[in-house]
C-alpha cells in the first residue's frame, strides 16, 4: 500500500473532492479490515472455532470506529470539503480510458458506511449468540465479513465499474449465506433462485456500465456526471432504465422481486443485515448516486417511481398474506424499499428522504428481524406465527424491542418511521395525487400487517405445543436488539432535527422542499389516521378472533350479536375478500409468471441444450458434414455481404 | 516452361538467415530432434531424465530468447517468417503455457501406475502385454519430442510470413497432437477413438485450408502475406478467388480454434485425450491458432475486412451460443470444460471481429487469461481420482469442497475466471474484448456475448455449488497429493489468474507496447 | 490448352475427395480421400504457377507432398492401432464419445 498517498486528480465534479489527508488516508482500511477477516476465517475454517466469531465481530466494529472518526472529521468541515477521494492505483489503462481503484467518501457514502458498519457490527454481535452451536459458525462469520467488505466497496467506489465489483460481491455473499444451510434442499433452491434473478439484474448493470463507457468514454462518477448535460436524453433514458433493471434485482423490486421471499431460508441475522438493512437498499443507493442521470432523463425517473409504487403495494399485500414471520417481514421489506425507490424517483424532492427512510428502515427492520430471530431462537426455529402467541410474557426484552420497531414502522410519532415515511408521503403528494395516494394506502396496509404480526406473535393465547419451552434469548442477542430499538425510537427525530439529514446530503443529491396544497401537519394528521385505521382493522381481525373455544353452545347467538358492524363481516366484505383475492392474484403472478419466466427460461435453455447436444452424434462423418455446412454458411455470409 | 525455369533458376539467391530472430524456434526444434536421437540411442532408464531436461531446458531457453529478441521487428528467411511485437508476445505466451502444461505432463505421482501416458501405444488395451509393461513401470518417453515438435509448430504458426510456412507450421503442430491424443494410459478405447476423430477431421480441415491457400495464390501470384495484401490494394478483379481463399483459410484456422460449426471434434478429443495433453491443447493450440488467424486477417486480408468481419460475427455468435448452451447439460467434467473452451473461443472472436488495435489487444489479453486458467483447470482434473483413474463424472465431484477445500477452492477460482467474475483474469479478458467490440460498433454482438456469458456462468457456478454445497458420496473419489511438478503448475496458474485480475496494468502495458503486426 | 480446365479438374477432384470423406466408412478410404483433396490442391498450385509464371506454386506442391507423406505415417499408425483394438477400420464404429 505504498501508493496510499497518491492523490487522484479527478475531473470536474460537482464538488471537487479533497485529498485524503489525516484519518481519510485510511478509507481503504474500512474495506480491508472485513476483507482480511473474511480471508482469514474462510481459509482457517473450523480450526478457528474458538476465536473465529470474535475476530469476525472485531473487524466490522473496527471499521465502524474508523468510520465514526471520519464522520466526526467530515462534520467539522465545510460542505464543499466533505468529499474525499482516495486513489490507490490505476487498475487498468486502455488508451485514454482509465479505471482507477479509488474510493470516494462523501456525505452519501459516509451515511451508508455508518449504516453498514454500525448495524453490521450489532448483527455480528447478535450472531455470536444466534449461531452458537452451529458447526459452520466460523464459515458464517467469514461470509458475513465478506459481505460487509463487498457492501463497503459498493458504496465507496468512485466509479461504476468498481461499484459493479461490489455489486457482484454482495450478490455472491448473499447467495452463499442464503444457502448457508445447504443441507436443506429448500435453502439450496432458494440460493439458486436468488442467484438467477440477480444474474438477470446484473446483465442490466453490465449493459449500463457499457453504455456509460460508450457514451462518455469514462465510468468515473465525476467524469460521467460532468458530461451528463451534453448527453442525448434518449441515451440517458436507456442508461437509466438499465441501471433501474439492475437495481430492481438487487432491491427485490417488481418484476424481479420473487427471490427475496425465498431468501428467508438463510439464517435470520443474514435476513436482518443483507435482506433488510443493507444489500437490498443498494438499488436505492444506485439511483441516488446516479441522480444527475435520472434528473436528466425524466422518463427513466418516472419508471423508477412506477416500479417503486407497484412494489410498495405488492410487498405490503404479500406481507398480509404470509404466516411465516420472516416471509411476512420480507414482504414488508419489499414494500418499504418500494417507498425508497419511489422517493428516489421523485428527484431532488425525494432523494434525501429516500435515504432518510433507508436509514430508519435499516434500524427498525433490523430490529424486527433480530426480534423474529430471537423468537425463533426461543421457539426451536418455529416460523409459523399461528404457532406463536402470548410470547410477550416470556420474552419481555424481545417484545420491547419488537414493539418499538413496530411503532417505528407504523410511523407513530415520535418514533423514527414517522419522520421519514411522512416526508416521503409529503414528497409524493407534492408530485402528484395518485402516487401520493399509493403511499398513503401503503401506510395503512403496513399498519394492518404489522399489527397482525405483533398480535399473532406476542398477544392472544399461547398456541405453541406443550413441549415448546419458549425462553428469552441471551444478552448477547437481546442487547443488540435493544440498541437497534433505541435507534429506531430516537433515530428519526435526531436526523430530522433542524432538517439536518437534508442539508447533510444536499451537496451530493440535491434537495428541494416539497410544496403541498395543505399544510404539512394536516397531511401528517391524515397519514396518522390512515395508519390508525389500518392498525385497528388488524386488531379487529386478529386481536379479537380467537374467541374462547370453551364458550357454551347456547352462547353462540350472543357471540353473533357481538360481531358488530365493524367486525368480521365488514372486514370480510370490504377488506379481506378483495385482499384475499388480490393476494391470490399476486401469489399466482408470483408463482406462475415470474417464477415461471425464470424457471421457464432455465428449462427452455436446458431443453435446447439437451436437443443441441444430440447433434454431437459421435460419428466422425457427421462432424465432417457439419464442417461442410460451416463452409456453406461462411460462403453464404460472404455472398450476402457482397449483395 | 523450360525458358521460364532457366530464367528463374539462373541467379539462385542465397537466402539470408537471421539466426537471432529465429533462435527460439531453433532452440525448440533442435531439442526436439535431439529428443528423437535420445529415444534411439540411450538406454530406456536414462531416457526420461534426459528428455525432461531437454524439454524444460529448451522451453526455458526459448523463453529467454524471446525476451532477448523483444525489440526485433523484422521479416526474415526471405519473408517466410515475420517477427514483430504481437508475434513475440504470442510466442512468449505459448512457450510459458507449454512449460506449465509440460509440468503437468511430467507428473508421475498421481497415477499409481506411472504417468498419464500408455507405456506403449501399440499394445492392445487390456492385453497381458500391456499389463506386463505397466507392472514393469515402463514409461513412454517419446511424448517429449512429440510435444516439442508440436510446440515448435505453434511458435512458428503466428510467426509465419507466408501461407506455405503457415501450412507447414499447422501440420507440424497438429501431427504430434493427433498422436499424443491417442496415448492415454487409462480408457484406451476412448483415447484411440479421439485420436482417430481428431486425425480425420484435422486432415480434412488442413485440406480445406490448403485449397484456400491455393486460391489466394491464384489470386495474388504469391503466398506471402504482405504480397497478398498488396495484390488486394491494386487488383480489384477476381474477387471470387479472394473470397473463396479467405473463407477456406479462415475455416482451417477456425477449426483449430474450435469455433462452431467446426467445433465438434473439441468435446470428443478433449474428453478422450490424456488430461495433461488436453490442458496443453486447450491453451496452446488456441493461442497459436488465434495468433495465426489475427495475422492472416490483419496482415494479408485487411483489404477485405468488410467481407470477413460479418462472417466472423456470425461464427462468433454461433460459437458462444452453442458452447454455452450445450455445456449446461454435460455430465463429464472434461467434456464440460471442452464446451466451455468452445464458448470461450466465441468470446475471443468478439475481439477479432472488432478488427481494431484495441480488439487485437483485447484478444491477446483474453488468450493469456484463458490459457493459464485452462491449463490450471485441467491440472486440477488430473488430481481427482478413484481406483479406475480420473473421476471425471460431475456427480463424483459433489462435496469435493468438504474433502479438499484447497483443491476445490482453486478449481472454483478457475471456474470464476472462466465466468468472468471481477478480480480474476477472466474479467479483464472479457472486459477488454467487449469494450473493444462496443467501441468498434458491434453493440449487438456484445449484447449477445453478455447474455451468453450469463448462461455460461450457470454451468460454472453449478460446479462450484456441486463442490461446496453437496454432501460427498461415501465411495467418492479422493484428491491425490501431486509431486512438486503439478503443484508448481497449479500455483503458477493460480498466481497468474489472480495477479492479472487484480493488477492487470503491467500485462496491458506489455501488450500495448507490442503494437501491431508488421508487414 | 486452357489452364482453367486444370482448375476445373482440381475443383472436381477436391469435391470428390470431400464427398468421399463424408460417405465412406472405411478409415483407410476416408484417408485416401483426404489425400485426393491434397492432390487437388497440388494441381491447383501448379496450374496457378503456370498462369502467373512464377515458380512458387511448383515448390509448394513439393512441400505439400512431403506433408502428405508425413500425414500418411501418422494416420496409418492411428488407424492401425484402432484396427488392432476393435478389429474394424470403420470410422462409424468408433462412436463411444458423443453428446
DSSP codes, A96-113: TEEEEEEEEE-HHHHHHH
pLDDT tens-digit profile of B368-427?
Answer: 999 999 999 999 999 999 888 888 898 889 888 878 888 988 999 999 999 988 889 999
Half-sphere exposure of A390 (CA within 13 A, CB side): 9
How many domains is chain B partitioned into structurally? 1
Q: What is the DSSP letter of B479?
A: E
* Cβ–Cβ gap C85/B125 under 8 Å: yes
CB A401 within 8 A of CB A408: no
Rounded Cα–Cα distance for residues A389 and A393 (Å): 10
Q: Rounded mean pLDDT of A546-568?
A: 37
Rounded Cα–Cα distance for residues B354 and B373 (Å): 24
What per-residue confidence (pLDDT) applies to A563? 38
Distance from CA of A435 to the nearest CA of C (A): 55
What the block records as the C-alpha cell of B498 is: 489472480
What the block records as the C-alpha cell of B21 is: 530472430
* Cβ–Cβ gap C21/A618 under 8 Å: no
Most A CBs within 10 Å: which of B328, B363, B416, B467, as the mutation test of the A interface?
B328
Q: Which chains touch C (3+ CB pairs under 8 A)?
A: A, B
Cβ-nearest to B505 among A91, A95, A165? A91
Write down the residue that cell numbers 399498519 correspond to: A447
Find, among A320, A335, A324, A341, the residue nearest to A268 by Cα. Answer: A324
Most C CBs within 10 Å: which of B207, B326, B332, as the mutation test of the C interface?
B207
Find, among A330, A242, A246, A238, the residue nearest to A283 by Cα. Answer: A246
pTM of the model: 0.81
Edge-to-edge strands, sheet with B384-386:
B389-390, B384-386, B478-479
B 176-235 near C (Cβ less than 8 A): 178-179, 182, 188-190, 192-197, 199-200, 203-204, 206-208, 210-211, 213-215, 217-218, 221-223
Rounded Cα–Cα distance for residues A581 and A575 (Å): 10
- Tell me, yes or no, whether B111 lies in a domain: yes
- Tell me, yes or no, whether B60 lies in a domain: yes
* Cβ–Cβ gap B214/C44 under 8 Å: yes
Cα–Cα distance list, A317 to A576, B201, B272 (Å): 11, 62, 57
Distance from CA of B388 to the nearest CA of A (A): 24
Q: What are residue B75's DSSP bridge partners?
A: B82
CB B421 within 8 A of CB B383: no
pLDDT tens-digit profile of A70-112?
Answer: 888 888 888 777 788 888 777 777 666 677 888 888 888 888 8
Assign A133 to helix, strand or coil: coil
Neighbour tally for A639: CB within 10 Å:
11
CB A299 within 8 A of CB A236: no
* Cβ–Cβ gap C23/A621 under 8 Å: yes
What the block records as the C-alpha cell of A198 is: 440477480
Angle at A529 between CA A525 and CA A531, to 5 degrees: 115
- Tell me, yes or no, whether B439 lies in a domain: yes
Rounded Cα–Cα distance for residues A101 and A159 (Å): 9
Cβ-nearest to B8 among C55, C71, C95? C55
- Tell me, yes or no, whether B1 lies in a domain: no
Residues of A in contact with C21 (CB under 8 A): 621, 624
Q: At what angle do helices A416-431 and A475-496 cross, to 10 degrees?
A: 40
**Max mean pLDDT range (A391-400, A416-425, A576-585, B286-295):** B286-295
Tell me the pLDDT of chain B (519 aa) as tens digits: 444 555 555 566 777 888 999 999 999 999 999 999 999 999 988 999 999 999 999 999 999 999 999 888 889 888 899 999 999 999 999 999 999 999 999 998 888 888 889 888 888 888 888 888 888 888 889 999 999 999 999 999 999 999 999 999 999 999 999 999 999 988 899 999 999 999 999 999 999 999 999 999 999 999 999 999 998 887 566 788 888 999 999 999 999 999 989 999 999 999 999 999 999 999 999 999 999 999 999 999 988 888 899 999 999 999 999 999 999 888 899 999 999 999 999 999 999 998 888 899 999 999 999 999 999 999 999 999 988 888 889 888 988 887 888 898 899 999 999 998 888 999 999 988 988 888 888 888 988 998 888 888 888 888 888 887 777 877 778 888 899 999 999 999 999 999 999 888 889 889 888 878 876
Assign A565 to helix, strand or coil: coil
Angle at A117 between CA A115 and CA A118, to 5 degrees: 60
Burial letters for B56-66: b for 16+ Cβ neighbours within 10 Å, e otherwise?
bebbebbbebb
Rounded Cα–Cα distance for residues A32 and C42 (Å): 65
* Cβ–Cβ gap C97/B193 under 8 Å: yes
Phi, psi dihedrals of residue B43, rounded to the nearest 5°: -65, 155
Q: What are residue C26's DSSP bridge partners?
A: C90
What per-residue confidence (pLDDT) applies to A256? 75
ipTM value > 0.95:
yes
CB A152 within 8 A of CB A249: no
- Tell me, yes or no, whether B481 lies in a domain: yes
What per-residue confidence (pLDDT) applies to A584? 61
Distance from CA of C95 to the nearest CA of B (A): 8
As separate numbers, helices (DSSP H) first and strands (DSSP E) second, chain C gives: 3, 0
What the block records as the C-alpha cell of A377 is: 431462537
Residues of B in contact with A203 (CB under 8 A): 450-451, 454
* Cβ–Cβ gap C52/B207 under 8 Å: no
CA A518 to chain centre: 33
Percent of chain A having pLDDT more than 70? 86
CB B245 within 8 A of CB B213: yes
What per-residue confidence (pLDDT) applies to B15? 76
Find, among C31, C68, C33, C60, the residue nearest to C44 by Cα. Answer: C60
Q: How many residues does chain A have?
A: 643
Cα–Cα distance list, A21 to A88, A106, A346, B428 (Å): 14, 14, 36, 32
What the block records as the C-alpha cell of A581 is: 383475492
CA A383 to chain centre: 21
What per-residue confidence (pLDDT) applies to A11? 34
Neighbour tally for C98: CB within 10 Å:
17
A613 interfacial to chain C (CB closer than 8 Å): yes
Rounded Cα–Cα distance for residues A329 and A332 (Å): 5
Rounded Cα–Cα distance for residues A12 and A292 (Å): 14
* Continuous H helices in B106-258: 128-136, 143-156, 163-181, 188-220, 225-234, 239-257
What the block records as the C-alpha cell of B487 is: 503443484
B164 interfacial to chain C (CB closer than 8 Å): yes
A553 interfacial to chain C (CB closer than 8 Å): no
Rounded Cα–Cα distance for residues A264 and A64 (Å): 27
Burial letters for A39-65: b for 16+ Cβ neighbours within 10 Å, e otherwise?
ebbbeeeeebeeebbebbbbbbbbbbe
* Continuous H helices in A590-619: 595-612
CB A36 within 8 A of CB A154: no
A619 interfacial to chain C (CB closer than 8 Å): yes
Rounded Cα–Cα distance for residues B285 and A56 (Å): 46
Rounded Cα–Cα distance for residues B363 and B370 (Å): 10
Do the bridges between strand B389-390 and strand B478-479 make them parallel or antiparallel, or are there none, so unpaired?
Answer: unpaired
Cα–Cα distance list, B257 to A112, A413, A509, B172, B301 (Å): 48, 68, 50, 16, 19
Residues of B in contact with A624 (CB under 8 A): 200-201, 204
Q: Is A22 left (phi over 0), alpha (psi -120 to 50) or beta?
A: left
DSSP codes, B285-354: IHHHHHHHHHHIIIIISGGGHHHHHHHHHHHHHHHHHHHHHHHHT--BHHHHHHHHHHHHHHHHHHHHHT
Longest dimension (CA), chain C: 51
Percent of chain A having pLDDT more than 90? 4
H or E stretch including A63? helix A52-75
CB A414 within 8 A of CB A488: no
Write down the residue that cell numbers 470506529 correspond to: A65
Nearest CA in chain C to A616: C99
- Tell me, yes or no, whether B2 lies in a domain: no
H or E stretch including A91? strand A84-94
- Tell me, yes or no, whether B7 lies in a domain: no
* Continuous H helices in B107-187: 128-136, 143-156, 163-181
What per-residue confidence (pLDDT) applies to A7? 31
Q: Which domain holds residue B47?
A: 18-116+124-514
What per-residue confidence (pLDDT) applies to B265? 94
- Tell me, yes or no, whether B9 lies in a domain: no
Q: What is the DSSP letter of A472?
A: P
pLDDT tens-digit profile of A368-397?
Answer: 888 888 888 888 777 777 777 777 888 888
Amino acid at each position: 500500500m505504498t501508493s496510499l498517498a497518491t492523490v487522484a486528480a479527478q475531473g470536474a465534479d460537482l464538488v471537487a473532492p479533497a485529498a485524503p489527508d489525516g484519518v481519510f488516508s485510511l478509507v481503504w482500511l474500512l474495506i480491508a479490515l472485513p476483507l482480511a477477516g473474511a480471508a482469514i476465517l474462510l481459509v482457517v475454517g473450523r480450526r478457528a472455532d474458538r476465536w473465529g466469531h470474535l475476530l469476525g465481530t472485531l473487524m466490522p466494529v473496527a471499521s465502524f470506529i474508523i468510520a465514526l472518526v471520519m464522520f466526526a472529521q467530515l462534520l467539522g468541515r465545510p460542505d464543499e470539503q466533505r468529499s474525499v477521494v482516495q486513489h490507490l492505483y490505476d487498475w487498468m489503462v486502455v488508451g485514454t480510458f482509465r479505471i482507477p481503484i479509488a474510493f470516494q467518501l462523501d456525505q452519501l457514502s459516509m451515511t451508508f458506511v455508518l449504516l453498514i458498519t454500525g448495524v453490521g457490527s450489532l448483527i455480528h454481535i447478535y450472531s455470536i449468540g444466534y449461531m452458537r452451536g452451529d458447526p459452520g459458525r466460523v464459515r458464517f462469520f467469514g461470509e458475513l465479513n465478506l459481505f460487509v467488505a463487498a457492501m463497503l466497496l459498493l458504496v465507496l467506489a468512485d466509479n461504476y465499474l468498481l461499484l459493479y465489483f461490489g455489486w457482484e460481491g454482495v450478490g455472491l455473499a448473499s447467495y452463499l449465506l442464503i444457502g448457508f444451510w445447504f443441507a436443506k434442499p429448500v435453502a439450496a433452491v432458494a440460493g439458486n433462485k436468488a442467484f438467477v434473478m440477480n444474474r438477470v439484474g446484473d446483465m442490466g448493470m453490465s449493459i449500463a456500465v457499457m453504455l456509460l463507457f460508450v457514451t462518455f468514454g469514462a465510468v468515473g462518477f465525476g467524469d460521467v456526471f460532468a458530461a451528463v448535460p451534453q448527453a442525448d436524453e434518449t441515451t440517458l433514458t436507456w442508461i437509466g432504465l438499465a441501471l433501474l433493471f439492475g437495481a430492481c434485482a438487487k432491491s427485490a423490486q417488481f418484476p424481479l422481486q420473487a427471490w427475496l421471499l425465498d431468501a428467508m431460508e438463510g439464517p435470520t441475522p443474514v435476513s436482518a443485515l443483507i435482506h433488510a438493512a443493507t444489500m437490498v437498499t443498494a438499488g436505492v443507493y444506485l439511483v441516488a448516486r446516479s441522480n444527475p442521470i435520472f434528473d436528466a432523463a425524466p422518463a427513466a425517473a418516472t419508471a423508477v417511481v412506477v416500479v417503486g409504487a407497484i412494489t410498495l403495494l405488492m410487498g405490503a399485500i404479500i406481507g398480509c398474506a404470509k404466516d411465516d414471520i420472516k416471509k411476512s417481514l420480507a414482504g414488508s421489506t419489499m414494500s418499504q424499499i418500494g417507498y425508497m425507490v419511489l422517493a428516489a424517483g421523485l428527484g431532488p424532492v425525494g432523494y434525501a428522504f429516500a435515504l432518510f427512510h433507508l436509514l430508519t428502515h435499516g434500524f427498525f427492520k433490523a430490529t424486527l428481524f433480530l426480534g423474529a430471530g430471537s423468537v425463533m431462537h426461543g421457539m426451536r426455529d418455529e416460523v409459523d406465527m399461528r404457532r406463536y402467541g402470548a410470547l410477550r410474557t416470556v420474552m419481555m426484552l424481545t417484545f420491547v424491542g419488537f414493539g418499538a420497531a413496530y411503532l417505528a414502522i407504523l410511523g407513530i410519532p415520535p418514533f423514527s418511521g414517522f419522520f421519514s415515511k411522512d416526508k416521503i408521503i409529503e414528497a409524493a403528494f407534492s408530485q402528484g395525487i395518485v402516487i401520493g395516494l399509493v403511499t398513503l394506502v401503503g401506510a395503512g396496509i403496513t399498519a394492518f400487517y404489522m399489527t397482525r404480526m405483533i398480535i399473532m406473535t406476542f398477544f392472544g393465547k399461547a398456541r405453541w405445543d406443550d413441549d415448546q419451552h419458549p425462553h428469552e434469548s441471551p444478552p448477547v442477542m437481546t442487547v443488540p436488539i435493544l440498541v437497534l430499538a433505541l435507534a429506531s425510537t430516537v433515530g428519526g427525530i435526531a436526523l430530522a432535527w433542524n432538517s439536518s439529514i437534508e442539508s447533510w446530503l444536499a451537496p451530493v443529491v440535491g434537495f428541494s422542499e416539497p410544496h403541498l396544497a395543505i399544510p404539512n401537519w394536516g397531511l401528517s394528521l391524515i397519514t396518522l389516521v390512515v395508519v390508525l385505521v389500518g392498525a385497528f382493522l388488524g386488531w379487529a381481525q386478529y386481536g379479537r378472533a380467537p374467541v374462547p373455544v370453551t364458550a357454551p353452545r347456547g352462547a353462540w347467538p350472543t357471540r353473533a350479536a357481538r360481531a358488530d358492524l365493524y367486525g368480521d363481516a365488514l372486514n370480510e366484505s370490504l377488506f379481506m375478500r378483495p385482499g384475499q383475492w388480490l393476494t391470490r392474484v399476486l401469489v399466482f403472478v408470483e408463482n406462475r409468471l415470474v417464477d415461471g419466466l425464470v424457471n421457464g427460461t432455465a428449462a427452455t435453455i436446458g431443453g435446447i441444450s439437451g436437443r443441441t447436444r444430440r447433434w454431437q452424434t459421435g460419428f466422425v462423418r457427421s462432424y465432417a458434414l457439419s464442417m461442410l455446412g460451416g463452409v456453406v454458411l461462411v460462403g453464404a455470409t460472404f455472398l450476402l455481404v457482397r449483395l | 516452361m523450360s525458358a521460364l525455369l532457366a530464367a528463374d533458376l539462373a541467379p539462385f539467391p542465397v537466402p539470408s538467415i537471421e539466426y537471432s530472430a529465429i533462435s527460439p524456434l531453433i532452440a525448440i526444434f533442435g531439442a526436439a530432434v535431439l529428443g528423437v536421437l535420445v529415444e534411439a540411442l540411450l538406454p530406456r532408464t536414462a531416457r526420461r531424465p534426459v528428455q525432461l531436461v531437454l524439454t524444460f531446458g529448451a522451453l526455458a531457453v526459448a523463453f529467454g530468447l524471446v525476451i532477448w529478441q523483444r525489440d526485433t521487428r523484422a521479416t526474415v528467411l526471405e519473408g517466410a517468417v515475420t517477427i514483430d511485437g504481437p508475434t513475440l508476445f504470442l510466442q512468449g505466451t505459448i512457450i510459458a503455457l507449454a512449460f506449465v502444461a509440460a509440468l503437468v505432463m511430467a507428473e508421475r505421482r498421481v497415477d499409481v501406475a506411472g504417468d498419464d501416458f500408455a507405456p506403449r501405444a501399440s499394445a492392445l488395451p487390456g492385453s497381458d502385454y500391456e499389463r506386463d509393461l505397466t507392472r514393469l513401470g515402463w514409461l513412454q518417453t517419446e511424448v517429449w519430442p512429440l510435444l516439442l515438435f508440436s510446440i515448435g509448430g505453434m511458435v512458428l504458426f503466428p510467426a509465419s510470413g507466408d501461407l506455405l510456412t503457415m501450412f507447414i507450421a499447422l501440420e507440424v503442430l497438429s501431427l504430434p497432437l493427433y498422436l499424443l491424443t491417442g496415448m492415454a494410459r487409462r480408457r484406451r478405447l476412448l483415447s484411440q477413438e479421439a485420436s482417430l476423430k481428431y486425425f480425420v477431421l484435422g486432415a480434412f480441415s488442413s485440406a480445406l485450408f490448403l485449397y484456400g491457400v491455393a486460391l489466394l495464390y491464384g489470386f495474388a501470384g504469391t503466398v506471402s502475406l504482405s504480397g497478398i495484401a498488396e495484390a488486394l490494394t491494386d487488383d480489384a478483379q477476381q474477387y471470387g478467388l479472394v473470397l473463396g481463399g479467405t473463407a477456406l483459410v479462415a475455416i482451417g484456422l477456425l477449426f483449430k480454434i474450435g469455433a462452431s460449426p467446426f467445433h465438434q471434434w473439441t468435446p470428443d478429443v478433449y474428453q478422450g485425450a490424456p488430461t495433461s495433453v488436453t490442458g496443453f491443447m486447450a491453451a496452446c493450440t488456441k493461442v497459436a491458432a488465434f495468433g495465426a488467424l489475427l495475422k492472416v486477417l490483419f496482415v494479408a486480408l485487411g483489404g477485405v475486412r468488410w467481407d470477413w468481419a460479418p462472417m466472423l460475427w456470425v461464427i462468433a455468435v454461433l460459437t458462444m451460443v452453442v458452447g454455452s448452451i450445450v455445456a449446461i447439460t454435460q455430465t463429464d467434467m472434461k467434456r464440460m470444460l471442452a464446451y466451455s473452451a468452445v464458448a470461450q473461443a466465441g468470446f475471443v472472436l468478439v475481439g477479432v471481429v472488432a478488427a481494431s488495435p484495441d480488439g487485437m489487444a483485447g484478444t491477446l489479453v483474453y488468450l493469456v487469461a484463458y490459457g493459464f486458467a485452462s491449463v490450471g483447470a485441467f491440472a486440477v482434473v488430473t488430481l481427482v481420482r478413484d481406483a479406475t483413474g480420473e473421476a471425471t463424472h460431475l456427480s463424483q465431484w459433489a462435496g469435493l469442497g468438504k474433502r479438499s477445500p484447497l483443491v476445490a477452492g482453486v478449481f472454483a477460482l478457475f471456474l470464476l475466471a472462466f465466468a468472468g467474475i471481477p478480480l480474476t483474469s477472466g474479467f479483464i479478458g472479457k472486459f477488454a474484448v467487449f469494450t473493444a467490440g462496443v467501441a468498434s460498433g458491434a453493440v449487438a454482438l456484445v449484447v449477445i456475448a453478455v447474455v451468453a456469458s450469463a448462461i455460461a456462468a450457470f454451468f460454472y457456478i453449478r460446479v462450484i455449488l456441486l463442490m461446496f454445497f453437496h454432501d460427498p458420496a461415501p465411495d467418492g473419489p479422493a484428491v491425490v497429493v501431486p509431486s512438486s511438478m503439478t503443484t508448481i503448475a497449479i500455483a503458477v496458474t493460480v498466481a497468474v489468474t489472480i495477479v492479472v485480475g487484480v493488477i492487470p496494468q503491467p500485462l496491458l502495458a506489455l501488450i500495448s507496447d507490442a503494437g501491431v503486426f508488421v508487414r | 490448352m486452357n489452364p482453367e480446365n486444370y482448375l476445373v479438374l482440381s475443383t472436381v477432384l477436391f469435391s470428390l475427395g470431400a464427398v468421399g470423406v463424408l460417405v465412406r466408412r472405411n478409415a483407410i478410404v476416408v484417408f485416401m480421400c483426404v489425400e485426393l483433396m491434397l492432390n487437388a490442391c497440388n494441381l491447383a498450385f501448379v496450374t496457378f504457377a503456370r498462369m502467373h509464371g512464377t515458380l512458387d506454386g511448383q515448390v509448394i506442391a513439393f512441400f505439400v507432398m512431403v506433408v502428405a507423406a508425413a500425414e500418411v505415417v501418422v494416420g496409418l499408425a492411428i488407424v492401425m492401432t484402432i484396427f488392432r483394438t476393435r478389429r474394424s477400420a470403420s470410422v462409424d464404429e468408433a462412436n463411444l464419445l458423443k453428446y
